[in-house]
Structure 1
Amino acid sequence: MLRVPRSAGVTTAALALGLLATTPAVGDEPAVSAPRVVAHFDLAKGQSPENIALEPDGSADLTFSTARQVANVTRQGRTRVLATLPAVTNAQTPVVGRAVVLGITRAQDGTLYVNYATGTRATGIWRIPSGGGKPRQIAQLPPTGLPNGLALDERRGVLYVADSVLGTVWRVPTSGGKPKAWATGAALEPTNPRPAARVGVNGLRIHRDAVWVSNTNTGTLLRIPVRESGCAGTIETRAKGLYAIDDFAFVDRHRDTVLAALTGGSELTQVRPDGTHRVVLTRKDGLSNPTSVAVRGRSVYVPSAAYFTRSDPNLLLARVHQRDRG
């Protein structure tokens, strides 16, 4: 999540700052092809799809940020609301100024976990029963932060949360309880001096014995090893020059190739293990400020929140080419 704009003027200024170049395309075949929008959503109802988790049947569970909802969307575009997070009086959420539901992750038994940012004691991780139902808060996070990306390590029984304002990766038991600041440091912190654009560590994924995160303000993709003890290792920079990177996904569980949502430029970018990257989908393909990515088999799912374009929030599906999986 980059941010929910308060006005079109502020949005335009935010997008003009910090533009970074991407690596030119190489190779003779795109990483992604046959994009198609399978569902269109309604901005007036707050249906900006922020983050995504996939169900076994190939449907997608999306967080609708300002609607405070979690919805299931089939590959044919049918949409069903699974849960609505409780309304908060006088929300004072940093950066966005309103209550928003952001990151989502799914357990094998179908339980969903989401991040709810409110600027109040309701800020934290909420659990939703399999198939939908009443959300319940299992952990409080600092109301001064913006809990954004979320991932689940079922083997260790912990959740990891990227706090975009406090520049922290939190670790929380799936049973709930007090969060632990698992990783901190300058690489995770926001760098934009304007409060309305201070978004540091953002997207978060667990991959090959490490927690991977993006930093929106610095345009970087970072890897944080998980030591045998469970503690965080030294933060490594794996890619730079990713303008307004939001969330991302790995194309192959065994390798480090990433598809990343560049929300500011409405692009999907392939990031190779050596850090080079190229754009594979653009606004012409249907993207409208994409915020997250999910990959299953040869399918890639890309939700677009339309935070800045203010046009056509949607869910796009495309095909991942086997050849570019290295």
Structure 2
Amino acid sequence: MKKTLLTLTVLATVFAATPASAASRDVVHFDLAAGQQPENVALEPDGSADVTFAGARQVARVDRAGRTRILATLPAPGGGGAPALGFPLTTGIVRTSDGSLYVLYATGTDDLTGLWRLRPGGTPQRIAALPGNGLPNGLAFDGRRFYVTDSVLGTVWTVPFLGGTAKSWSTAAELAPAGFLGANGAKLHDGALWVTNLDRGTVLRIPILPDGRAGTPRVKATDVPGIDDFTFTGRGDEILAALDSPNKVVRIGADGVASTVLDATDGLQNPTSIAVRGKEVYVFSAAYLTQTDPNLLRTTLARC
């Protein structure tokens, strides 16, 4: 696959404890030794990026000037670790209109695994428990309830906006893992929940029925191995997706065909999540496999 469908011009990169004057560099490192492996992102109205640092159990904010500030560190479990990974980690993140951040936390223990809320200036509070033997990963919000993908249990859960009991929304076979991790990224679009499956290399569209129940999943794309999080570009069903182990970002058209737009030569290190703001694209790399250079690449789309 060639870098033909989107032309990307590098503007700046992240910035972890690096002065803003370094923004002209192509890649700036996060602190791998401190567990600053970015897993998921939510954008602020001013273009700052709220990010979960998986290995550090942290929520951080990177502003437009390149400054990184830790907003919260979730409590360490007394033992255990997320199934299939072996360590506790923060995963999906969503920002609501009041500035609150909602974060998923997977610890392998029932007392801490679940959905957590971080109000501006506050401390994190768990508002819904999720099974400790699962791995809550992708998070989406429709204004009334949260949708949570579980990569180990092959389930989509729903949680009321104010918190409470999580309910199983879908356990379709298409969500199940095939050896490692299944249902992963989650986004709401056009009356449906869209979900990626990392093991199966697929993108699914699950209709939300008028009564709120899950409809029958439809496979929208195949042959995208290692697909993690993704985002819609604003051009219908077209998406940009992070492919973790292949070390790529791909454009997937409405026809399901994938084309590479970024790869290791652009500084990617196992990309995990991606966000679009106008013509800007934010790509986070966690370096889970390379164990080198976790970073955020911020680029501009020449055509979107």
The TM-score bracket by the shorter chain reads: over 0.9
Q: CA RMSD in A?
A: 1.3
Whether contact under 8 Å (1:36, 1:285) holds in the other structure is no
Match of 2:192 in 1: 210
Distance 1:177 1:160 in 2: 13
- Give deviations 1:5-35, integer Å, cap 9, x for gaps: xxxxxxxxxxxxxxxxxxx4486x5253336
**Residue 83 (structure 2) pairs with residue 94 (structure 1):** yes
Match of 2:115 in 1: 125
Match of 1:174 in 2: 161
Letter in 1 for 2:117: R
Unaligned runs of 5+ in 1: 1-23, 193-197
Distance 2:62 2:157 in 1: 29
Letter in 2 for 1:297: G
Give matches, 1:146-295, under 5 Å.
146-154=135-143, 157-192=144-179, 198-252=180-234, 255-295=236-276
Whether contact under 8 Å (1:38, 1:75) holds in the other structure is no
TM-score (norm. length: structure 1): 0.86
Letter in 2 for 1:45: A
Whether contact under 8 Å (1:249, 1:259) holds in the other structure is yes
Match of 2:13 in 1: 37
1:111 to 100, 118, 141: 100
SS of equivalent residue, structure 1 residue 53? strand
- Give deviations 1:163-197, integer Å, cap 9, x for gaps: 000000101101111111111121000011xxxxx
Give matches, 1:58-77, under 5 Å.
58-77=47-66
Letter in 1 for 2:119: P
CA apart distance, 1:221: 0.6
Distance 2:94 2:245 in 1: 24
Letter in 1 for 2:118: I
Letter in 1 for 2:232: F
Change in CA separation of 1:123 and 1:273 when aligned onto 2, cut-off 3 Å? same
2:286 to 292, 305, 318: 305
- Give deviations 1:108-152, integer Å, cap 9, x for gaps: 11110000001112100000002x431000000011100001111
SS of equivalent residue, structure 1 residue 295? strand
SS of equivalent residue, structure 1 residue 315? strand
CA apart distance, 1:301: 0.4
Identity of aligned residues (%): 52
Distance 1:58 1:313 in 2: 20
**Residue 293 (structure 2) pairs with residue 315 (structure 1):** no
Whether contact under 8 Å (2:105, 2:136) holds in the other structure is yes
Distance 2:273 2:196 in 1: 11
Distance 1:209 1:181 in 2: 19
Distance 2:11 2:265 in 1: 10
TM-score (norm. length: structure 2): 0.92
Whether contact under 8 Å (1:37, 1:286) holds in the other structure is no
Distance 2:245 2:122 in 1: 34
SS of equivalent residue, structure 1 residue 317? strand
Whether contact under 8 Å (2:227, 2:242) holds in the other structure is yes
Letter in 2 for 1:238: K
CA apart distance, 1:320: 1.7
Distance 1:93 1:188 in 2: 18
Whether contact under 8 Å (2:36, 2:56) holds in the other structure is yes
Unaligned runs of 5+ in 2: 16-28
Aligned residues: 290
Letter in 2 for 1:129: R
Distance 2:81 2:65 in 1: 37
Letter in 2 for 1:218: R
Whether contact under 8 Å (2:81, 2:106) holds in the other structure is no
